[in-house]
Amino acid sequence: SPNPFTGAYGGWMAVELAGLALAESANLLTIPGRLCGNGRPAPVQDAAWQLWVQEVRDAGMVAYKAAQTKSQDAVLDAANAVSDSCLNCHRQYRQVPGGFANRCPTDAN
């Protein structure tokens, strides 16, 4: 089925798997040598980066656990945690003066 919520892993399982995927994707954000979309090095050593990567990981697990309860209210709360964790990082590393070319600023840049 083209609808991700009606296939073999649909419904609440799809929400669970999305939470796990988000939590695991946080690991990708910590790989040394990682580049931002503009080619600048990702600030993987910055304390703020590491904190917000952990927030993304934690938010993914909150979403996973919320899906296990099969509570739409719990998933909505988890969505807020996910949104907040992304926004914290994006404020410092993406929404910067000069736009795309200046993304991923660090003290070393």
Q: Provide the whole-model pTM.
A: 0.83
Question: Hey, what are 8's tokens?
Answer: 């073999």
pLDDT above 70: residue 6 = no
- Please report, for residues 58, 77, 97, the alpha-carbon distance to residue 62 in angstroms, rounded to integers and kept in the order given: 6, 9, 33
If you ran DSSP here, which 8-state letter would residue 100 be given?
G
List pLDDT tens digits, range 74-85: 999 999 999 999
What backbone torsions phi and psi does residue 41 show, to the nearest 5 degrees?
-65, 135
pLDDT digits (tens, 9 = 90+) for 34-91: 999 899 999 999 999 999 999 999 999 999 999 999 999 999 999 999 999 999 989 9
